């Protein structure tokens, strides 16, 4: 059959799948490598640096974390949709204009 990957067994969980690459999914692929403390530190430093920047993707991540901590019970999917809406734009704008103001 064209455009279909051959049937193979995931080396982590043993499930049969036709996805791209050896693993059945991201979580199994992640389990296959063990990170050294040094590597973990490098990843954490990179993440910290990114989150301290004011790039749009960092703003989105901060928005998601803030909303999840607020416990509004929204799924990440809902939050993703809201980010594309006026709610997120207003939130970002307010944060820029009133960085020390009360939380929404
Ligand atoms: Zn698997």
Spell out the domain ranges in the chain: 37-94
Ligand 1 centre to CA of 5 (Å) is: 16
pTM above 0.85, yes or no: no
Ligand 1 centre to CA of 20 (Å) is: 12
Each residue of 28-55: b (16+ CB within 10 Å) or e? beeeeeeeeeeeeeeeeeeeeeeeeeee
Given a contact cutoff of 8 angstroms between Cβ atoms, the answer to whether 32 and 12 are in contact is yes
Ligand 1 centre to CA of 15 (Å) is: 6
Ligand 1 centre to CA of 25 (Å) is: 6
Instruction: Give average pLDDT by consecutive 10-residue segment, the chain, 104 residues.
Output: 83 94 92 89 95 88 82 76 74 74 55
């Amino acid at each position: 059959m064209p455009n279909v990957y051959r049937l193979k067994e995931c080396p982590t969980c043993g499930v049969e799948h036709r996805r791209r690459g050896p693993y059945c999914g991201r979580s199994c692929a992640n389990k296959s490598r063990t990170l050294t403390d040094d590597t973990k530190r490098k990843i954490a430093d990179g993440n910290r640096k990114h989150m301290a920047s004011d790039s749009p993707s960092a703003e989105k991540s901060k928005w998601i974390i803030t909303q999840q901590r607020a416990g509004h019970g929204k799924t990440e999917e809902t939050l993703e949709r809201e980010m594309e809406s006026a709610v997120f734009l207003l939130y970002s704008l307010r944060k820029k204009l009133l960085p020390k103001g009360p939380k929404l």
